[in-house]
Structure 1
Amino acid sequence: MEIPVDDYALGAAVATDLVTTSPTVRESTGEALPTPISLAVFLAGHGLQLEAPLPPTKDDVFQVQLLRREVRGIVETETADQAVSGCRVLLRRAGLAPVLHRASDGKWQWHVPTAPGASLADELAAFISTALLGVVRALGHERFRACEAPGCRGVFVDTSRAGRRRYCMPELCGNRHNVAKHRARRQARSVDA
C-alpha cells in the first residue's frame, strides 16, 4: 500500500470513525467492530484497499481494536509533540521511508509505502498515523478534540475548512444534543405559560 502524504482528510476521518466504533463511545449499542465481517464493512465503507489478505480474520479484528486504543490516545494528547511522537510509533509498525512518485497529472507527490506482508492492523496504523501527522502539520494539534455532546466520551479530528466541528458523530451526537436543547426550550415555555 502506498499512502499519499498530502491527503490527510480521509485518514483523519478513518481515525475518527475507528475511535467511535468503541463500546466506550457507543455505550448504548456496544462494540461496532465485533467480527471480521464488520471490519470488512468498515474498511470498504472508507474505500480502503489494504494489501493485507482479505477477508479479515478474528485476529485482525482484535489487532484493530487494540489499534483503536492507540489512535484514541494520540487524539487525546495534550500537545502536538505528544501527538507526533505517538504517530511515529504507529508509523514504524509498517511504514517505510517516504518516496516521491509522479502522479497522473504530472505533479510529484510524496507517498509512504508499507512493508510487504504487513498485517491489516499495521497497514491501517501507517495510514492513520500518516494522516494525523498531516493534520498536525497543515491544521494544527488543536483540531484533535473531544466531543461536546453531554455524556459522550468520543474524540475526533476536525478537518473541516472552518474548523468548527463539535461532535464526534454529528449525525448522532449533534442530533441528540439539538433534540435535548429543543425539549428544554419547549419545557421552559410550558412552565412560563
Structure 2
Amino acid sequence: MRISITDYVVGATLAGDLANTSPTVQAAAGEALPTPDALMEFLAGHGLRLDSVDGRLPNDDDVRQVHLLRREVRGVVETETDDQAVAGGAVLAGRAGLRPVLERDPTGRWQWYVPTRPGAPLAEELAALIGIGLLGAVRALGHDRFRACAAPGCRGVFVDISRGGRRIYCRPDVCGNRINVANHRERRRLDSTAR
C-alpha cells in the first residue's frame, strides 16, 4: 500500500470510524466488526484495498488485531495535547510504514507517499494509514479538531475535517439527526402547550 502524505482525510476519517465500531460507543448496536466479513465490508465501505488482504478475505486473527488497533486509535484521538497526538500518530504510522518516497502521480506531478512494509498484517497497514492521517490532521487543522461526540449517550470520537471546523457529532446523519428530531418534538410540545 502507498499512503499519500498530503491526503490526510482518508486516514483521519478512518480513525474516528474505526474507533466508533466498538460496542462501547453505541451499546444498543453492539460490536460492529464481529466477523471477517464485517471487517471486509467496513474496509470496502472506505474504499480500501490493502496489500495484506489482496486476494483473500480477512480472518479471525485480523479481526482480533483490528479490535486491538481500535483501542489505540481511540486513545490517540482522545489525547489532551497536540504533542501527545503527534507521538501517538507517529507510533501508529511506524507500525508498517517505511520511509517516505517522492513519486509521480498519474498526472505526472511529484507527490510524497509512505509505502507499507511488504507482507505487513492488515492491522499494521491500517495503523500506518490512520497514523499518517492523524499526523496530517494535526499539521493542517490542529489538535482541537480531535473531538468527542456531543450527542447525549454517545461515546463516539472523530476528527473534524470539515471546512468550517464546526462539526460536533461523530455521525451527523445519526447523532445529529436524533438531536434535531428531539429538539423539533420539544418545540412542537411547547407550541401546543402555549396555545
TM-score (norm 1): 0.97
- The alpha-carbon deviation at position 190 of structure 1 amounts to 2.5
Counterpart residue identity of residue 105, structure 1: T
- Aligned equivalent of 2:136: 134
In structure 1, what is the Cα distance between the partners aligned to 2:178 and 2:131?
30
3-state DSSP class of the match of 1:109? strand
Deviations along 1:13-40, one digit per CA (max 9) or x if unpaired, are 1111111111111211111000000000
- Aligned equivalent of 2:156: 154
3-state DSSP class of the match of 2:52? coil
Deviations along 1:69-92, one digit per CA (max 9) or x if unpaired, are 111111111111000001111112
- The alpha-carbon deviation at position 158 of structure 1 amounts to 0.7
Counterpart residue identity of residue 104, structure 2: R
In structure 1, what is the Cα distance between the partners aligned to 2:182 and 2:22?
24
Work out the percentage of aligned pairs sharing the same amino acid.
65
Counterpart residue identity of residue 20, structure 1: N
Counterpart residue identity of residue 128, structure 1: I
- Aligned equivalent of 1:50: 50
Structure 2 spans left out of the alignment, 5+ residues: none
- Aligned equivalent of 1:111: 113
Deviations along 1:91-143, one digit per CA (max 9) or x if unpaired, are 12111111111112222111111111100000000000001100000111111
In structure 2, what is the Cα distance between the partners aligned to 1:59 and 1:51?
16
TM-score (norm 2): 0.96
3-state DSSP class of the match of 1:52? helix
More moved, 35-44 vs 96-105: 96-105
- Aligned equivalent of 2:174: 172
- Aligned equivalent of 2:38: 38
Counterpart residue identity of residue 73, structure 2: V
Aligned length: 193
In structure 1, what is the Cα distance between the partners aligned to 2:27 and 2:174?
13
